Chains A and B, each alone.
Chain A
């Protein structure tokens, strides 16, 4: 009865003097590898979002989490008047990036997406544009 307990404690105590196996998050930050699919970002060119509202990302999105509404600007060109991603539905498959014909969307290395309210998981165009 007592012997197994001591054996167990031996293992526990021995580990106290070894280097930890797990990453000590949040004091330690992970080294994010290239190709990681984190939070989306809308690419910017000439101070404007590159997105032309072609609707290919909502079309290809398997989780149906992207909402786009096109608008017509002063030059009669198409732009995304509304671009929203519902992060609660997103499965981070990256198809949107793959489908984009104008390199307007990418996935960043940001993975800390926890939030306090449901509404905060809706990433509007402004929030997606913020990260350069």
Chain B
């Protein structure tokens, strides 16, 4: 610790702190324009000048100057104020004073400082800039006339996002923030640059002119897309969510969001939202009252009570914990059926079967904070960046700032593979388990296994015939990776799961856990296995028991039951099996065949359109409750706007049905959480009030053991390409299709081909092709690149038109032929 005096106050701070940090620590505010707590010091704006007794004669920038013992600092003297005023006058010389039409007004650092320092005249005169404004991209408007050259956008894009869309171009008075060849912006559109821009040079186009900053009602909540559990502040006005507001003090990610979090909120107030219940009459869905709709549903469900096996229910892991708990209680308790599931089964199997077998708990042993505390990260599939972009930012930061080693085992390359020092092992598609078995074997062969691990002999026998060749990689690569992983001080495996990744199942979770356990990389900080659930409350759905526990049917068996008539009543809460479950034809046939189907959803999805009763549900912005993110953090979701139209939250719907069926009834969702805390062991002692803004990570008691798993023998079909599915960066599940932002950037289904394959098939970028498998055929546009290796096709699963589940059947890899339409 270093002791110094700032404005007469004694402070003790860490020796790597700057004067600015020290001042902040003792509550003294030094004005800044170019500094950001998440970025490296820059020292460009000269607003934070201070006077240091030991360095008299000149003013010192506090954001770049490290503290030294005994420093005496003055932060506001007449000389300093004069210098700061000069800085502002010089900035305002070129800045167009168009605050009335600038969306940043009210939240503009330059405006606030100009007011604070009473800069109401300018000694200098100059012409304003006359840069062309970039209106071309759909999400970020760039008006470089307003730019004050703080460089924050370039730095955040480089340091945290690792994209590098911006840089300073030209020199002197002509210098400006430019893009590639000074063209229109074409990037990931995460909007990080917009969030840190201290003025209105970078603006969110979807929010342009919608409201003034001070008129927005700000509600702290949790994003409802992926499982990362990023906190966000919703800006709403007149019952509409208009934007997400940046707050650098929110969550582990310091307010950092991805493109869906920042630009995907429009689904909440989409015109396509369902506003009234629908009942099928004479084969057509017609508007009805809530009484009629609920009466229909409860009469069917109460009839089903006498034959519980004929009732089944699917829920989306986007619901709150309270709703899922009530869902489970209603169907497993009141109705008495064990036929409940979510996410097609395989999107939670890694937790409910894999983690349970290996660690004894249905949760990841590691948490998000472990990513930055680790020394080596082993990421399964480069897609971890696409499925959980903000975890991707954490990986970027860890690798670039802390020198964490990064190893990727993937069937294709991706953004993570381009990080400094990253080593990617590209394996044959679908051979993840074989690869991990080969790694385990190599660890044992090299004598790196921890002594006395339970089940070591069984594992030895199981992996005896494992080899690198079976995974399509070289033995040297495997040996080097196994050595790096085992000898790292702390190593963490990151495994994304989801509906796009049927191969990321219980077997893979076990195989990955085996490697971690075998090398002793569990039960300590910064090590273990982080299983990343796909949806915002995937972990919560597992905790609340939304999967068959006894003899009940899983999602696939429920659909089979619908097809063969064993399941007569199907309740679907927010799921969209028609697009997201494998084998679309089969799903459609099953849903057509089921006697009675109820769907509660925000939109008339492909599944809801087939239902007998459709109940309009509320989005996350219209209800309160809790979500549990990956890494077991339980966080508060808060209501920002009243329900859209006649929509009711799933809590209200389920509560009404439960009461009508003679089951439990609650006055509000808070009562349900109290019951969760009393009955779900992991949530013991939690209350919604004590979760506050930051949430709480519930603890797990691990009992790690090795679980040998056999790798499926790959059977590549000659002359065919291997289709692997997954997530596109801009989308999550099928809900992001209703957000304008993601749809501007990535509106249609596509298939990604290697340049060599494309050349051989004479297919060019953007061509429409027919992809045919044993299950069916689908027409999509083609993207050509070097990301996927030769012989592999990648396609994201989110889209209703040209949905890739038309040709998949739930196996890890689908062998397809691609032909020009």
Residues of A that sit less than 8 Å from B by CB: 52-56, 59, 70-72, 76-78, 101-102
Q: Is the interface of A mostly helix, strand, loop or mixed?
A: loop
**With an 8 A cutoff between CB atoms, is B550 at the interface?**
no
Q: Is the CB of B100 within 8 A of A72?
A: no
B300 contacts partner chain A, Cβ-Cβ < 8 Å: no
Give every chain A residue within 8 A of B135 (Cβ-Cβ). Answer: 76
Residues in B neighbouring A59, C-beta threshold 8 A: 212, 214-215
Contact of B209 among A53, A101, A102 (CB under 8 A): A53
A-B interface, 10 closest residue pairs, ranked by CB to CB distance from nearest: A54-B100, A70-B209, A78-B101, A55-B212, A101-B100, A52-B101, A52-B100, A78-B209, A76-B135, A72-B209
Say yes or no for B133: interface residue by CB 8 A criterion: yes
Say if the beta carbon of B208 comes within 8 Å of chain A: yes
20 pairs, A vs B, C-beta closer than 8 Å: A52-B101, A53-B101, A53-B209, A54-B99, A54-B105, A54-B212, A55-B212, A55-B215, A56-B100, A59-B212, A59-B215, A70-B210, A76-B133, A76-B135, A77-B101, A78-B100, A78-B101, A78-B209, A101-B100, A102-B100
Please give, as numbers and ranges, the residues of chain A lying within 8 Å of B105 by CB-CB distance: 54
Q: With a CB–CB cut-off of 8 A, which chain B residues contact A76?
A: 133, 135
For B99, B135, B209, the residue with the greatest tally of chain A CB atoms inside 10 Å of its CB is: B209
CB contacts (< 8 Å) of A71 on chain B: these are: 209
Question: Which residue from chain A places its CB closest to the CB of B97 in the assembled complex?
Answer: A101
Number of A-B contacts (CB under 8 A): 30
B-chain residues with CB within 8 Å of residue A101 when the two chains form the complex: 99-100
Instruction: Please name all residues of chain A whose beta carbon is closer than 8 Å to the beta carbon of B214 when the two chains form the complex.
Output: 59
C-alpha gap A70/B101 in the complex (Å): 10
Report which B residues bind A (CB closer than 8 A).
99-101, 105, 133, 135, 208-212, 214-215
**Chain B residue, CB-CB nearest to A70:** B209
Q: Which residues from A are CB-within-8-Å of B210?
A: 70
A70 contacts across to B, CB distance below 8 A:
209-210
Q: How far is the CB of A52 from chain B (nearest CB, A)?
A: 5
11 more A-B residue pairs beyond the given contacts A53-B209, A70-B209, A78-B101, with a C-beta to C-beta distance below 8 A:
A52-B101, A54-B101, A55-B211, A55-B212, A56-B100, A59-B214, A59-B215, A72-B208, A72-B209, A76-B133, A102-B100
Q: What is the bound-complex CA distance between A74 and B298, given in angstroms? A: 53
Measured CB to CB, the closest approach of chain A to B755, in angstroms, equals: 38
- Closest B-chain residue to A100, C-beta based? B100
A54: B residues at CB distance < 8 A: 99-101, 105, 212
Min CB–CB distance A72 → chain B (angstroms): 6
Closest beta carbon of chain A to B138's beta carbon, Å = 13
Roughly how many angstroms separate A108 CA and B101 CA in the complex, as a whole number? 26
> Which residues of chain A are within 8 angstroms of B101 by Cβ–Cβ distance?
52-54, 77-78
**Assembly CA distance A70 to B211 (angstroms):** 8
- In whole Å, how far is B472's beta carbon from the nearest beta carbon of chain A? 52
Shortest beta-carbon distance, B819 to chain A, in Å?
43
The CA of A53 and the CA of B210, in the complex, are separated in Å by 10
- In whole angstroms, how far apart are the Cα atoms of A101 and B211 in the complex? 17
Note all chain A residues with C-beta closer than 8 A to B99: 54, 101
Which chain A residue lies CB-closest to B209? A70
Alpha-carbon separation in the docked complex, A46 to B215 (Å): 30
Nearest CB in chain A: distance from B356 CB, A: 54
CA distance A59 to B216 in the complex (A): 12
**Residues of the A chain whose Cβ atoms lie less than 8 Å from the Cβ of B133:** 76
Task: Chain A residues near B211: list those with CB within 8 A.
Answer: 55
Q: Which residues of A contact B208 (CB under 8 A)?
A: 72
CA distance A101 to B97 in the complex (A): 11
B470 CB, min distance to chain A CBs, angstroms: 58
Q: Which chain B residues border A77 with CB–CB below 8 Å? A: 101
Task: Kindly report which residue of chain A lies nearest to residue B100, judged by CB atoms.
Answer: A54
Give Cα distance in the complex from A53 to B209, angstroms: 9
Q: In whole angstroms, how far apart are the Cα atoms of A59 and B208 in the complex?
A: 18
What separation, in Å, do the CA atoms of A29 and B210 have in the docked complex? 44
Chain A residues in 8 Å Cβ range of B100: 52, 54, 56, 78, 101-102
Q: Which chain B residues lie closer than 8 Å to A52 at the CB level?
A: 100-101
Q: Which residue of A lies closest to B135 (CB)?
A: A76
Q: Complex formed: what's the CA distance from A85 to B388 in Å?
A: 47
A12 CA / B765 CA spacing, docked (Å): 99
Question: Residues of A contacting B215 with CB < 8 Å?
Answer: 55, 59
What is the distance, in angstroms, from A39's C-beta to the closest C-beta of chain B?
Answer: 24
CA A56 to CA B214, docked complex, whole Å: 10
A76 vs B215: C-alpha distance when bound (angstroms): 22
CA distance A59 to B100 in the complex (A): 12
In the bound assembly, the distance between CA atoms of A76 and B141 in angstroms comes to: 10
Residue among A53, A59, A76 having the largest count of chain B Cβ atoms under 10 Å? A76
Q: Please, how many angstroms separate the alpha-carbon atoms of A59 and B215 in the complex?
A: 8
In the docked arrangement, what's the CA distance between A77 and B211, Å? 15
B803 CB to closest chain A CB (Å) equals 34
B209 to nearest A CB, angstroms?
A: 4
Determine the distance from Cα of A72 to Cα of B203 in the docked complex, in whole angstroms: 14
Task: Give B96 Cβ to nearest chain A Cβ, in Å.
Answer: 13
The residues of B that contact A53 with a CB separation of less than 8 Å are 101, 209
Measured between alpha carbons, how far is A55 from B106 in the docked complex, in Å?
A: 11
- Chain B, residue nearest A77 (CB): B101
Residue in B closest to A58 when the chains form the complex, CB atoms: B215
Bound CA span A77–B98, Å: 11
* Residues in chain B near residue A78, CB distance under 8 A: 100-101, 209
A52 CA to B215 CA, complexed, in Å: 17
Report the bound CA distance from A22 to B330 in whole Å: 79
Cα(A33)–Cα(B133), bound, Å? 47
CB distance from B130 to the nearest CB of A (A): 15
**Distance from B145 Cβ to chain A, minimum over Cβ atoms (Å):** 13
Name the residue of chain A whose CB is nearest to the CB of B101: A78
Within the complex, what minimum Cβ distance (angstroms) separates B214 from chain A?
A: 7
**Which of B135, B208, B212 lies at the interface centre, i.e. has the most chain A CB atoms within 10 A of its CB?**
B212
* B208 closest partner in A (C-beta): A72
The residues of A that contact B209 with a CB separation of less than 8 Å are 53, 70-72, 78
Interface centre among A71, A77, A78 (most CB of B within 10 A): A78
A19 vs B105: C-alpha distance when bound (angstroms): 58
CB distance from B235 to the nearest CB of A (A): 14
Nearest CB on B from A47, distance (A) = 19
Distance of A70 Cα from B100 Cα, bound (Å): 11
The minimal Cβ–Cβ distance linking B328 to chain A, given in whole angstroms, is: 45
* Distance between Cα atoms of A68 and B436 in the complex (Å): 61
Instruction: Give, as a whole number of angstroms, the nearest-CB distance from A67 to chain B.
Output: 10
For residue B289, give the distance in angstroms from its CB to the closest CB of chain A: 31
Output the least CB separation between A74 and chain B (Å).
Answer: 11
> Which B residues lie within 8 Å of A102 (CB)?
100
Cα distance, A84 to B214, chains bound together (Å) = 20
CB proximity of A97 to chain B, nearest CB, Å: 15
In the complex, what's the smallest C-beta–C-beta distance from A30 to chain B, in angstroms? 36
Residues on B with beta carbons closer than 8 Å to the beta carbon of A72: 208-209
Q: How far is the CA of A73 from the CA of B105 in the complex (A)?
A: 20
Residue of A nearest to B210 (CB): A70
Measured in the bound complex, the distance between the Cα atoms of B101 and A56 in whole Å is 11
Q: How far is the CA of A72 from the CA of B99 in the complex (A)?
A: 16
Q: Which of B101, B214, B215 has the most CB of A within 10 A?
A: B101
A78 (CB) vs chain B CBs: closest residue: B101
Identify the closest chain A residue to B133 (Cβ). Answer: A76
Chain B nearest CB from A111 CB (Å) reads: 30
Residue with the greatest number of chain B CB neighbours at <10 A, chosen from A53, A55, A72: A55
